[in-house]
Amino acid sequence: MTTHAIHAKLEPDGPVSLPIVEVSGLRKTYSGGVEAVKGIDFEIAAGEVFGLLGPNGAGKSTTIGMLSTTIAPSGGAARLAGFDVATQPIAARSVSSVVFQDAVVDRNLSGRANLVLHARLWAVAPRDAKAQIADLVDALGLGELVDRNVGSYSGGERRRLEIARALISRPRVLFLDEPTVGLDPRIRHELLDLIGDVREREETTILLTTHYLDEAQRLCDRVAIINRGEIVALDRPDALLAEIGEQVLELRVGDDASRARGALAAQGVPVDTAFAVGSTLTVPLHHCSAGDVMAALDRAGVVAAAVSTRRPTLDDVYLRLTGDSLAAA
């Protein structure tokens, strides 16, 4: 088992927040021997928005499944608000709610019936449930939809209903599994605003999985990058970006960008943090200038078809760490 013990303080020099999610050596091996999660460790502070980034198949949804007790872990431990998901699953479920990647609402029932069902299963007192439903219906713009059959909802409307449903029980931990997948850009941005509002208004700890890096940068206090079932980086988005520097140089260099990287190294250009994907070589400019790189390529006889400089993104962090593309996933 490979275990990456990577932790980070929420506020290194300020007040320390308390962990409400604790994950230790958590792993899942499906029948057939597929290792979806290979022993991961992290902690999430109360009130934090924590992002789990990675391509499809990286183990994000399996991790959410294990934390929500809808997938049985093969090993390790996880606790929600102190409750062990393996030995105290009902208590763990009572403090959490999940918005799953795929629709999980009853399509033959109205939106309100779905909300009431969730409230009852999470033991919300009837009077509180009524008030909470009215409040959430208003906050999430569901007023004209809520008494219609869910089967008639659009994807964005259904997702808003699912978020409302997950919030009825005022969960201490809210799991959002790729909440914006399949939504058009306008709805996606509205939903991101909504998730930001949820944090402000409910003081809920949020664990968000996504493969959209802009979402993580916009919403998350900290992000963990997960690849092939292992956490390969975990820190605040700005700290992860700082490892790359202020700017990167992006070069289109033909079929083998790795060869160009080797040529730069031979010319004395520091390429420890450079990474090659397909025909593109990306060189962080924190130890050298763009002019240094271009001159070295010229000396090595490598022709760049296209050259650009830009600010780094979490995509660069991910690609540097894994050599794979999130976008291609």
**Is the sign of the CA dihedral 63, 228, 22, 85 positive or negative?**
positive
Q: In what order do the strands lie in the sheet with 4-5?
A: 4-5, 35-45, 19-29, 75-80, 83-84
Q: Judge whether 169 and 124 are in contact, CB under 8 Å.
A: yes
Q: Judge whether 85 and 78 are in contact, CB under 8 Å.
A: yes
Q: Is 322 in the site for another protein (CB under 8 A)?
A: no
Single out the segment in contact with another protein by CB under 8 A; choices: 120-128, 183-191, 194-202, 298-306. 120-128
Among residues 157, 215, 221, 235, which is the contact residue for another protein, using CB under 8 A?
235
Those residues with Cβ within 8 angstroms of residue 168's Cβ, 6 or more apart along the chain or in another chain: 115, 118, 119, 122, 124, 129, 132, 133, 136
CA distance 94 to 108: 26
Single out the segment in contact with another protein by CB under 8 A; choices: 115-123, 133-141, 203-211, 295-303. 115-123
CA distance 136 to 284: 45
Q: Is 311 in the site for another protein (CB under 8 A)?
A: no
Among residues 12, 14, 32, 185, which is the contact residue for another protein, using CB under 8 A?
12
DSSP three-state, residue 27: strand
Instruction: Compare residues 150 and 297 and give the one whose CB is closer to another protein.
Output: 150
Q: Which of 155, 170, 177 is nearest to 71 (CA)?
A: 177
Among residues 32, 123, 185, 255, which is the contact residue for another protein, using CB under 8 A?
123
Single out the segment in contact with another protein by CB under 8 A; choices: 230-238, 257-265, 270-278, 305-313. 230-238
Name which of residues 128 to 157 contact another protein (CB under 8 A): none
Q: Judge whether 45 and 205 are in contact, CB under 8 Å.
A: yes
Q: Is 113 in the site for another protein (CB under 8 A)?
A: yes
Shortest Cβ 65–another protein spacing (Å): 7
Among residues 10, 167, 223, 226, which is the contact residue for another protein, using CB under 8 A?
10
Q: Which pair of tokens denotes residue 97? A: 């709610």
Among residues 122, 212, 275, 318, which is the contact residue for another protein, using CB under 8 A?
122
**Total interface residues for another protein by CB under 8 A:** 54
Residues linked to residue 250 through DSSP beta bridges, in sequence order: 282, 308
* Cα within 13 Å of Cα(46), Cβ side: 12
Instruction: Compare residues 5 and 327 and give the one whose CB is closer to another protein.
Output: 5
Q: Is 40 in the site for another protein (CB under 8 A)?
A: no
**Is the sign of the CA dihedral 84, 86, 89, 94 positive or negative?**
positive
DSSP three-state, residue 191: helix
Shortest Cβ 125–another protein spacing (Å): 8
User: Interhelix angle for 111-121 vs 126-139, to 10°?
Assistant: 140
Q: Is 6 in the site for another protein (CB under 8 A)?
A: yes
Among residues 40, 45, 142, 208, which is the contact residue for another protein, using CB under 8 A?
45
Q: Which pair of tokens denotes residue 233? A: 């980086």
Residues linked to residue 22 through DSSP beta bridges, in sequence order: 43, 79
Per-residue binding string, another protein, 63-102, x by CB under 8 A, is: --x--xxxxx--------xxx------xx-xxxxxx-x-x
Name which of residues 164 to 193 contact another protein (CB under 8 A): 165, 172
Q: Is 112 in the site for another protein (CB under 8 A)?
A: no
Instruction: Compare residues 122 and 275 and give the one whose CB is closer to another protein.
Output: 122
| Footprint of another protein (CB under 8 A) | 5-10, 12, 16-19, 30, 43, 45, 65, 68-72, 81-83, 90-91, 93-98, 100, 102-109, 113, 117-118, 120-123, 165, 172, 233-235, 239, 243
